[in-house]
Amino acid sequence: MFIALQVSIEVVHALRDVVSQLATRDGALADQIRRAASSAALNVAEGSKRAGKDQAHHYRIAAGSAAEVRAAIAVGAAWGYFDSANYAALETLLDRQAALLYRIAQRR
């Protein structure tokens, strides 16, 4: 499996508990994270089957969606819904995803 897609799926898996916890406090923000994380993975998959500018476009959308996930986690922490200090492993995974998406979007 394409590494960027594999990592994006890992992010979705890592977010399951976070989203469940968040849904009890802020359903809209939980849904936003769910949709953005799904969008990142799905756009990587679609982009892998495209070429040229169309491929780069999908990878840029995936990178934007990944950034949206990161911002939504920060917003949830800012609202006090959870302690962001407890999510070091998630942050590491989000960093890896961002780096992979940046590289594939830039080389196209």
In the chain, the number of structural domains is: 1
Q: Is the pTM of this model over 0.85?
A: yes
Between the CA of residue 12 and those of 2, 25, 57, 65, 88, what are the distances in Å?
A: 16, 20, 21, 12, 16
Average pLDDT score over residue span 6-28: 96
Written as one letter, the residue type at 12 is V
Domain CATH for 95: 1.20.1440.60
User: Do the Cβ atoms of 96 and 7 come closer than 8 Å?
Assistant: yes
Domain that holds residue 77: 3-106
| Average of per-residue pLDDT values in the chain | 93
Position 1 pLDDT exceeds 70: no
Summarised one tens digit per residue, pLDDT across range 48-73 is: 999 989 999 999 999 999 999 999 99
